[in-house]
């Protein structure tokens, strides 16, 4: 029996799809069986971010409408063993799927995989309730800015209300430099506000953009800081205890400057 | 020495601490499901009562809800000019 984890945020554009693609791939690289599910019906993206867009034949809609078996709708990622994708229908909209139907799909997938990661659409309406309907746990992705954090708090409230637990936070697009000069909130500020557990910090990394251009998840690139951050989060998801490194590696000069600034 | 260095490096409040402070307030209100009308009404009614005791400008009153640990606190900041002499009136 595996775990169904919804990757969600409230606000759009904070890195849900990027995180789902990279964590799914990372978990498969660690030897787990994984299916990533695109729950963004009508605005699907996970397929193109993962570079699997040309191979989609069936979607979750076809499974719900009994046009095809669930196992036939799973697209196998040929680059790594144990990773498949269930795409969202692009010609339907969010109201065409019921939360109960998503739950049925999740229940089946859970029994055959170690991890089921669900890429949630933005918002707090139907798309969110569909994406979270079958979830055991949640990963909330936020960037360290006021609107993303406020929306994350709303989503956390809804997840708690639905009894989904644990809820872990991924702090994305973190910039040690901006934190260092006082223009970005650090992880302690964010955790103090949101009051949930942090599972990892992903730095701002141009590698995310180039890897998305190519359709090759960043975790295949060992050296990039974003890749290493996602690999660590994946290990934590498998239960390994790996401390969260302090990304605030300020130089001596920055420290001195900040000391005067903050007086 | 200290002063000139401070001038050199500037001494504005960090925008990250302002962000945190603003977020804390707005999230507390979000969590309590407090709508703007509620706060406006409270604001007006409180001002009405306070006007009996203080001389102050209604526009200068600021009110917000804060979370401290597990409890919520209503914080009102009311710069007043002077007390009315309540006894003299009676
Ligand atoms: N750590 C990061 N560093 C740089 N760019 C990022 C990072 N995470 C996400 N992005 C970029 O931000 C944009 C939105 O990301 P995406 O995963 O599509 O967000 P969402 O699914 O939450 O809408 C994309 O262009 C993506 O490449
Ligand atoms: Mg997305």
Residues with Cβ < 8 Å from B71, sequence gap 6 or more?
none
Which residues are CB-neighbours of A3 under 8 A, at least 6 positions away?
A110, A114, A115, A116, A136, A137
Of B6, B8, B20, the CB nearest to A185: B20
What was the pLDDT predicted at A240?
97
Tokens standing for residue B65: 């809800």
Distance A15 CA to ligand 1 centre (A): 4
On chain B, the residues whose CB falls within 8 A of the CB of A260 are 5-6, 8-9, 11
Q: Are A55 and A84 in contact (CB under 8 A)?
A: no
**β-pairing verdict for A197-203 and A167-174:** parallel
Q: List the domains of chain A with CATH numbers.
A: 3-261 (3.40.50.300)
- Judge: A145–B6 Cβ closer than 8 Å, yes or no: no
Cβ-defined contact of A193 to B23 (cutoff 8 Å): yes
The confidence score (pLDDT) of residue A250 equals: 47
Question: Given this model, what pLDDT does residue B74 score?
Answer: 81
Question: What is the H or E stretch that residue A128 is in?
Answer: helix A126-132
pLDDT at B50 (0 to 100): 84
Q: What is the pLDDT of residue B35?
A: 65
Listed as ranges, residues in chain A with pLDDT below 70 are 247-263
Q: What is the pLDDT of residue A162?
A: 95
Where exactly are the structural domains of chain B?
Answer: 2-89
Sequence-distant (≥ 6) Cβ neighbours of residue A98 within 8 angstroms: A130
Whole-model pTM above 0.90?
A: no
Residues A39-90 have pLDDT tens digits of: 999 999 999 999 999 999 999 999 999 999 999 999 999 999 999 999 999 9
Q: What is the pLDDT of residue A251?
A: 47
| ipTM at complex level | 0.78
- Beta bridge pairs of residue A110: none
Residues in chain B with pLDDT < 50? 1-4, 6-7, 90
**The predicted structure's pLDDT at residue B3:** 47
Ligand 1 neighbours, Cβ below 6 Å, are: A 9, 12-18, 172-173, 202, 204-205, 208-209, 212, 226
Which secondary-structure segment (H or E) carries B73? Answer: strand B71-77
- Beta strand A137-142 with A115-119: parallel, antiparallel or unpaired? unpaired
**How many Å is the Cα radius of gyration of chain B?**
19
Cβ–Cβ < 8 Å for A105, A60: yes
Q: At what angle do helices B2-9 and A252-261 cross, to 10 degrees?
A: 100
Question: A16 C-alpha to center of ligand 1: Å?
Answer: 7
**DSSP 8-state code for residue A121:** P
Token digits for B76?
């009102």
């Amino acid at each position: 029996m595996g775990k169904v984890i919804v990757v969600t945020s409230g606000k759009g554009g904070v890195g849900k799809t990027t995180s789902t693609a990279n964590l799914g791939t990372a978990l498969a690289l660690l030897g787990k069986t994984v299916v990533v599910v695109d729950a963004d019906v009508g605005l699907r993206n996970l397929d193109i971010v993962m570079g699997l867009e040309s191979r989609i034949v069936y979607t979750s809609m076809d499974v719900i409408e009994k046009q095809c078996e669930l196992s036939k709708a799973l697209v196998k990622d040929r680059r790594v063993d144990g990773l498949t994708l269930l795409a969202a229908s692009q010609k339907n909209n969010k109201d065409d799927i019921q939360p109960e139907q998503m739950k049925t799909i999740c229940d089946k997938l859970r029994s055959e995989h170690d991890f089921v990661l669900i890429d949630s659409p933005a918002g707090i309406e139907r798309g969110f309730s569909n994406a979270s309907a079958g979830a055991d746990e949640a990963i909330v992705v936020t960037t360290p800015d006021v609107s993303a954090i406020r929306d994350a708090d709303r989503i956390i409230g809804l997840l708690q209300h639905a009894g989904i637990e644990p809820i872990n936070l991924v702090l994305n697009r973190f910039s040690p430099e901006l934190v260092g000069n006082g223009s970005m909130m650090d992880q302690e500020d964010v955790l103090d506000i949101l009051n949930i557990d942090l599972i990892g910090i992903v730095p701002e990394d141009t590698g995310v953009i180039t890897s998305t251009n190519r359709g090759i998840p960043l975790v295949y690139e060992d050296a990039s800081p974003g890749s290493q951050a996602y690999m660590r989060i994946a290990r934590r998801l498998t239960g390994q205890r790996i401390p969260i490194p302090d990304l605030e590696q300020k130089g001596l000069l920055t420290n001195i400057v900040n000391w005067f600034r903050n007086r | 020495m200290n002063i000139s260095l401070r001038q050199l490096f500037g001494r504005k409040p960090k925008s990250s601490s302002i962000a945190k402070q603003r977020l804390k307030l707005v999230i507390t209100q979000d969590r309590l499901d407090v709508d703007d009308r509620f706060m406006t009404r409270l604001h007006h009614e409180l001002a009405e009562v306070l006007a009996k005791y203080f001389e102050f400008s209604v526009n200068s009153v600021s009110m917000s809800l804060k979370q401290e640990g597990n409890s919520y606190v209503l914080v009102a900041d009311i710069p007043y000019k002077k007390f009315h002499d309540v006894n003299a009136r009676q």
